[in-house]
Chain A
Amino acid sequence: MEIGISHYLILSGILFSIGFVGVLRRKNLLMLFFATEIMLNAVNIAFAAIGNYYGDLSGQMFAFFIIAVAASEVAVGLGLLIILYKKYGSLDLDVISTMKG
């Protein structure tokens, strides 16, 4: 059995779903962070696979962009998380909800 485009896309879909469920269900901000990273990487896999499939490099290029963006996001986001942890002593979303309408 050859590994074709559909396998990549299924993998990407499963990863994305895992990330999506994580985003919806997790209460810890750090875990949310991980979940979004998983989703981003799921998209990366899909981009790279489809780019390869069509013989178009823009897919891979976008994947690189996303990796770069994700990296900077981690840099900034983790910094914010540390400050939040210092302020509230927890990263639980229910504890740090201040925007109640």
Chain B
Amino acid sequence: MENLVYIALFAPFVGSLFAGLFFARSPKTHLVGIVNSSLIGIAFIASVTLALHVAEHGAVHVTMMSWISAGDLSIPFGFLVDEVSVTMMLVVTLVSTIVHIYSTGYMNHDKAYNRFFAYLSAFVFSMMILVMSDNFAGLFIGWEGVGVCSWLLIGFWYHKEDKTFEENPSISPSWAANEAFIMNRVADLGMLVGIFLIYWNVGSLQYDVVFKALPHLADGLLVSIAIALFIGAMGKSAQFPLHTWLTDAMEGPTPVSALIHAATMVTAGVFLVIRANPLFSLDAVHGVSMFIASLGAFVAFYAASMALSARDIKRIVALSTLSQLGYMFAAAGLGAYWIALFHLAAHAFFKALLFLGAGNVMHAMDDELDIFKMGGMKKVMMGSYVYMGIASFALAGLPIMAGFYSKDAIIETAFNDGSFIIWAILVITAGMTAFYSFRQVFFTFHGEERYKALGFHPHDMYKYVLVAMAPLAALAISFGWFMDSFHEFITKNLPDYEMSHHTHDLAPFLGTLVIILALTGIFIAWKKYAGKGADAWKRDEEFEQSFVYKLVANQYYVPKFYDEFIVQPYTIASKKFWEIDKAVVDGFVDLIGKMFYKSGDVSRGMQTGSLSAYLNWMGVGALLLIVTAAITALIG
């Protein structure tokens, strides 16, 4: 089994090196796409085998070698494949494999094909380290690794110029990449502090040791650790207020958005909370957990509200990702870790599918993102239409679909916990989710064929790419059916979450409520948007002047706030500091130098050249010496 662990881990790494070597020689080699996809596929197969092994024989734990050891600290490269991590491995490798295959088609015409695959495989490798590591430091390696890969991939089209905020809210790919990296770093500091706290109070960073020692620690300490770790999770999972990078990250190629900014990396924060469940489920940190749940519910609603009026196809999907992450945190915060993980997996499948479908549309429309300019595209893109439809059904949480089971379970959890405010927010958000996802579908695929007038000639994606997407579609439909077996599998490791009888009895009613809301959302979307005419792409000035629209379109002015109250003051302060450095700090040093020059200048006057003047000075000096000697003699 050990070998399988290494294969699952290092196959993507080998792929990254392989592509990297080719990148040094030529921008595009077909072989790279094939080899890298197969390597990720191998990692997937290895993960499946491991999953079967884990289900039967329990966790696999391997230690490769020691990494850092100094003082009492000893960090190994150790990997733990248990129920939780193997679930993540399956999700990551499966979605990655499909995204890799998808990318061979999507990036076919890109100049930097090999570079893309080098980065993408490196990302998978980092993500695997993140989920497989058996200690917090190893987790941090993956944590930062995915951050860098995300930086590289968001900024993949680095040659694009900076635009103004009004023209493009993300300014430019390289800008968005830097924003993502720096914002994540803010959160990483919190995570580091958590690691330090753990080390100085437990003496180890290994999960098993730490979790065993947790109950013996003081309450205040546990709260600090939980807060610090959650700050780390907030950054990666783009929770408010560290969320602005996620929508801007859509500047990256769409397969990247599907893999990194929907299915895998952004769920790392949720994974951390699930992984550290022995900490977050302690009574002492109940407050923190409640905060996590409340923040999750808030973000779910907050993001959904922004998605209601967005015109950019990728932004809509990104905001829905944000919203769904909120759901996951709500579940995790309420202690339903396994439900959070279940929704994480389900979401990964249908959201990746949705993103890839959106990618097909963009590809067809020459990278046009405005859904108002599309319409009626189901005629030319039947395959993508079906896929996006399935994904949207799943996202909206309609019966039979994956989202129905997972999202419903979360809403039920909130009800069961007695957190009715959270429950109400989540229910309303579910309706909004259905509305905005179908708004997007109807705008894009139904109604008048507006793109024709605008001079686009769309065509659907390569056939093999559409076929490759099929497993995602199948899972988006059917993943929920395996809820019971998943429950049985995962609760060997994660604490079970019991619904009370009361909730259990009310469950059908609650579920129906959500479905009705979702259907209502879809119906309104259908009514409003499915029949949009040819002129829909023209802007509605009056509507866009309204306060609510402006608030939402400007993302509640959060980016503006950051710009004005953080970025600009920082820039100005930096410049001021530089001036101070030159004028005051260095000026003081120069002043000392100048003092010597000046004193030389002044004392030059003594050098008259007249011998008698010199003798006078000498006499004065001699007298002074005699007087001092006399005084000291008298005193001393």
Distance between B102 CB and nearest chain A CB, rounded to angstroms: 85
Chain B residues within 8 Å of A25, by CB: 612
Whether B611 is near chain A, meaning CB under 8 Å from some CB there, is yes
Whether A24 is near chain B, meaning CB under 8 Å from some CB there, is yes
A100 in contact with B611 (CB, 8 Å): no
| Contact residues, B587-618 vs A (CB, 8 A) | 604, 606-612, 615-616
| Contact residues, A4-61 vs B (CB, 8 A) | 20, 23-27, 29, 32
| Contact residues, A82-100 vs B (CB, 8 A) | 93-94, 97-100
Q: Identify which of B606, B610, B619 contacts A94 (C-beta below 8 A).
A: B610
Distance between B599 CB and nearest chain A CB, rounded to angstroms: 14
A26 in contact with B612 (CB, 8 Å): yes
Q: Identify which of B606, B609, B612 contacts A24 (C-beta below 8 A).
A: B612
A97 in contact with B619 (CB, 8 Å): no
| Contact residues, B403-441 vs A (CB, 8 A) | none
Distance between A38 CB and nearest chain B CB, rounded to angstroms: 14
Complex: A94 Cα to B615 Cα, angstroms: 13
List the B residue with the shortest CB-CB distance to A96. Answer: B611
Distance between B434 CB and nearest chain A CB, rounded to angstroms: 93
B609 in contact with A100 (CB, 8 Å): yes
**Which residue, B611, B612, B615, has most C-beta atoms of chain A within 10 A?**
B612
Q: Identify which of B607, B612, B615, B616 contacts A101 (C-beta below 8 A).
A: B607
Complex: A23 Cα to B620 Cα, angstroms: 12
Distance between A50 CB and nearest chain B CB, rounded to angstroms: 18
A23 in contact with B615 (CB, 8 Å): yes
Distance between A44 CB and nearest chain B CB, rounded to angstroms: 19
Distance between B92 CB and nearest chain A CB, rounded to angstroms: 81
B609 in contact with A98 (CB, 8 Å): yes
B604 in contact with A93 (CB, 8 Å): no
List the A residue with the shortest CB-CB distance to B607. Answer: A101
Given that A23-B615, A24-B615, A24-B616 are known contacts, is A97 also in contact with B610, CB under 8 Å in the complex? Answer: yes
Complex: A11 Cα to B134 Cα, angstroms: 101
B612 in contact with A27 (CB, 8 Å): yes
Complex: A101 Cα to B610 Cα, angstroms: 10
Complex: A98 Cα to B607 Cα, angstroms: 11
A97 in contact with B609 (CB, 8 Å): yes
List the A residue with the shortest CB-CB distance to B622. Answer: A20
Complex: A101 Cα to B608 Cα, angstroms: 6
Chain A residues within 8 Å of B619, by CB: 20, 23-24
Given that A20-B619, A23-B619, A24-B616 are known contacts, is A93 also in contact with B611, CB under 8 Å in the complex? Answer: yes
B616 in contact with A100 (CB, 8 Å): no
Distance between B399 CB and nearest chain A CB, rounded to angstroms: 102
Distance between B120 CB and nearest chain A CB, rounded to angstroms: 76
Distance between A88 CB and nearest chain B CB, rounded to angstroms: 13
List the A residue with the shortest CB-CB distance to B603. Answer: A101
Chain B residues within 8 Å of A23, by CB: 615, 619
List the B residue with the shortest CB-CB distance to A99. Answer: B609
Distance between A58 CB and nearest chain B CB, rounded to angstroms: 23
Given that A20-B619, A24-B616, A24-B619 are known contacts, is A97 also in contact with B611, CB under 8 Å in the complex? Answer: yes
Distance between B179 CB and nearest chain A CB, rounded to angstroms: 63
List the B residue with the shortest CB-CB distance to A26. Answer: B612
Distance between A39 CB and nearest chain B CB, rounded to angstroms: 11
Chain B residues within 8 Å of A98, by CB: 609
| Contact residues, A67-92 vs B (CB, 8 A) | none
List the A residue with the shortest CB-CB distance to B623. Answer: A20
Chain A residues within 8 Å of B616, by CB: 24
Chain A residues within 8 Å of B608, by CB: 97, 100-101
Complex: A97 Cα to B609 Cα, angstroms: 5
Distance between B613 CB and nearest chain A CB, rounded to angstroms: 8
Complex: A25 Cα to B616 Cα, angstroms: 8
List the A residue with the shortest CB-CB distance to B605. Answer: A101
Chain B residues within 8 Å of A20, by CB: 619
Chain A residues within 8 Å of B606, by CB: 101
Complex: A94 Cα to B609 Cα, angstroms: 9
List the B residue with the shortest CB-CB distance to A25. Answer: B612
**Which residue, A20, A32, A101, has most C-beta atoms of chain B within 10 A?**
A101
List the B residue with the shortest CB-CB distance to A94. Answer: B610
Complex: A29 Cα to B606 Cα, angstroms: 20
Complex: A29 Cα to B610 Cα, angstroms: 11
Complex: A27 Cα to B611 Cα, angstroms: 9
Distance between B603 CB and nearest chain A CB, rounded to angstroms: 9
Complex: A23 Cα to B619 Cα, angstroms: 9
Distance between B604 CB and nearest chain A CB, rounded to angstroms: 5
Q: Identify which of B604, B607, B612, B615 contacts A99 (C-beta below 8 A).
A: B607
Q: Identify which of A32, A97, A101 contacts B604 (C-beta below 8 A).
A: A101
Complex: A24 Cα to B609 Cα, angstroms: 15
Query: Chain B 201-228 against A: per-residue CB contact (8 Å), 1 yes, 0 no?
Result: 0000000000000000000000000000
Distance between A47 CB and nearest chain B CB, rounded to angstroms: 19
Distance between A18 CB and nearest chain B CB, rounded to angstroms: 14
A93 in contact with B607 (CB, 8 Å): no
| Contact residues, B566-588 vs A (CB, 8 A) | none
List the A residue with the shortest CB-CB distance to B619. Answer: A24
Complex: A93 Cα to B613 Cα, angstroms: 9
Query: Chain B 87-108 against A: per-residue CB contact (8 Å), 1 yes, 0 no?
Result: 0000000000000000000000
Chain B residues within 8 Å of A99, by CB: 607, 609
Distance between A81 CB and nearest chain B CB, rounded to angstroms: 13
List the B residue with the shortest CB-CB distance to A97. Answer: B609
Complex: A42 Cα to B611 Cα, angstroms: 23
Complex: A27 Cα to B616 Cα, angstroms: 11
Complex: A24 Cα to B606 Cα, angstroms: 16
Chain A residues within 8 Å of B610, by CB: 93-94, 97
Complex: A20 Cα to B604 Cα, angstroms: 26
Complex: A99 Cα to B611 Cα, angstroms: 9
Given contacts A94-B610, A97-B608, 11 further A-B pairs with CB under 8 A are A23-B615, A23-B619, A24-B616, A26-B612, A27-B612, A93-B610, A97-B609, A97-B611, A100-B608, A100-B609, A101-B606
A-contacting residues of B (Cβ < 8 Å)? 604, 606-612, 615-616, 619
Q: List 19 A-B contacts (CB under 8 A).
A: A20-B619, A23-B619, A24-B612, A24-B615, A25-B612, A26-B612, A32-B615, A93-B610, A94-B610, A94-B612, A97-B609, A97-B610, A99-B607, A99-B609, A100-B608, A101-B604, A101-B607, A101-B608, A101-B609
Q: Which 3 A-B pairs have the closest CB atoms?
A: A101-B607, A100-B609, A97-B609
